Amino acid sequence: MHRIFIGYDTRQDISYHVLKYSLEKHSSEELDIRPLVLKELDFHRDYDPLASTEFTYTRFLVPSLCDYEGTALFMDSDMLCFGDISEIFHLDMSDYWLRVVKHDHRPTTKVKMDGVPQTAYPRQNWSSFMFFDCCRLTMWTRGNVSEKPPKWLHRFEPVPDECIGDIPRQWNVLDRKNEDTKLIHYTEGGPWLENYKDHAYGDLWFECRDQMLALQRASASGMK
């Protein structure tokens, strides 16, 4: 069973559930999907005004949550999947500690996600979709995740460059979709947010949400 941890923010509960549904809908293999709910993780870090979500730092707890064993995938919740996510779990990790889509992302806006300040930094969005070989990431202890500077974590400073492998780019496509896209990442703000409901590819998210809700209603009706 493939372990997937999705960043969870109490302000955007619906985005987690729609992403989970889209992953399960397209997967050919069994998934173990878990939300990284901050209040359930017994984790504390001093307030960071630049942290845009409740999972800005908890994503780096995934190897420890897996007891530094096996592989696991972390995903931001502001995503929508169109491909078979089990493909990621068949990538060769023999030479790598983790794999990411290596974006050269240079934001053009000053705010994101419903008014949160946008900041630019090296390797931006690399940590939004990470496939881990957990046994090689023992430096990401709870203590280090709670205390180390943001760049130490999000720029993967303790990981040698040659140990960071690639994930095909179609698995983390920023704010657009073409015939090759397997996952959209709504980086500027998802259509579940009032200010971004007219996102150019928001209709795809609403379609998936409506499918999920229809299935939930049918299931509830069948149990009566």
Secondary structure (DSSP) of 112-133: ETTTEEP---TTTTGGGEEEEE
Task: Give residue 54's domain range.
Answer: 2-222
Under the banding of pLDDT at 50, 70 and 90, the label for residue 119 is low
Question: 177-212 in b/e burial notation, b at 16+ Cβ within 10 A?
Answer: beeebbbbbbbbbbbbbeebeebeebebbeebbeeb
Please say whether the beta carbons of 91 and 131 come within 8 A. Answer: yes
Label the pairing between strands 183-185 and 173-174: parallel
157-196 confidence digits (pLDDT tens): 999 999 999 999 999 999 999 999 999 999 989 999 999 9
Q: How confident is the model at residue 82 (pLDDT cuts 50, 70, 90)?
A: very high
Task: For residue 117, name the pLDDT band (cuts at 50, 70, 90).
Answer: low
Q: The CATH number of the domain where 84 resides is what? A: 3.90.550.10
Tally the domains of the chain.
1
